[in-house]
């Protein structure tokens, strides 16, 4: 077995309320169950999961820096990020991802393009390796799979 590789899953503001917040939009799964889904998906790829949620933008900026450094050390693959409303407001997160050179898959539980116009623009999309929107919380698993398929070199048997 090779060295342990981590995949990060970062969640922004209000995602701690998953399960009770607008279930008609975000479903009834809790963030704890999303973490379990991500852990099982990561394990299926022999990856360790580092799963976090914060309501403080600077904490997410610093987590992105930390993850970028881990990728450069060869200890991590990249990150799945649901930045919540910061998606639509935060040039700082755009600059953090770009500056840290962190491979990111942007995920949204809801189809943001079918919602209010303010949710159609993303500061993260131009610096994302890929984007998964509108698949509910299953999008987190799809995003991890996509990150692996895009980034992990194919191992010979």
Nearest approach, Cβ of 147 to ligand DQA (angstroms)? 17
For residue 154, the 8-state DSSP code is P
Is the backbone of residue 130 left (phi > 0), alpha (psi -120 to 50) or beta? beta
| Burial environment of residue 88 by CB neighbours within 10 A (0 to 12, 13 to 18, 19 or more) | middle
In the complex with ligand DQA, which residue's Cβ is closer, 4 or 85?
A: 85
User: 5 or 82: whose CB is closer to ligand DQA?
Assistant: 82
Active-site annotation holder among 8, 45, 94, 108: 108
> Is 5 or 90 the residue whose CB approaches ligand DQA more closely?
90
Instruction: Give the number of other Cβ atoms within 10 Å of residue 73's Cβ.
Output: 8
Interface positions with ligand DQA (CB under 6 A): 14, 82, 84-85, 87, 108-110, 112, 119
CB of 88 to ligand DQA, least distance (A): 6
Is 108 one of the annotated active-site residues of the chain? yes
Least CB distance to ligand DQA at residue 112 (A): 5
Q: How far apart are the first and last CA of the chain?
A: 13
Residue nearest to ligand DQA (CB): 84
Q: At what angle do helices 91-100 and 57-72 cross, to 10 degrees?
A: 10
The residues carrying an active-site annotation are 26, 108
């Amino acid at each position: 077995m090779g060295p342990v590789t981590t995949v990060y899953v970062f969640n922004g503001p209000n995602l701690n309320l998953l399960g009770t917040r607008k279930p008609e939009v975000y479903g009834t799964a809790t963030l704890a169950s999303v973490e379990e889904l991500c852990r099982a998906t990561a394990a299926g790829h022999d990856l360790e999961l580092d799963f976090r949620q914060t309501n403080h933008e600077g904490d997410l900026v610093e987590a992105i820096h930390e993850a970028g450094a881990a990728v450069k050390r060869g200890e991590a693959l990249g990150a799945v990020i649901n930045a919540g409303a910061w998606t639509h407001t935060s040039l700082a997160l755009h600059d953090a991802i770009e500056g840290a050179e962190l491979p990111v898959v942007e995920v949204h539980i809801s189809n943001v393009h079918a919602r209010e116009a303010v949710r159609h623009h993303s500061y993260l999309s131009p610096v994302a390796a890929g984007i998964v929107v509108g698949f509910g919380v299953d999008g987190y698993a799809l995003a991890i799979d996509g990150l692996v398929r895009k980034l992990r070199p194919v191992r010979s048997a």
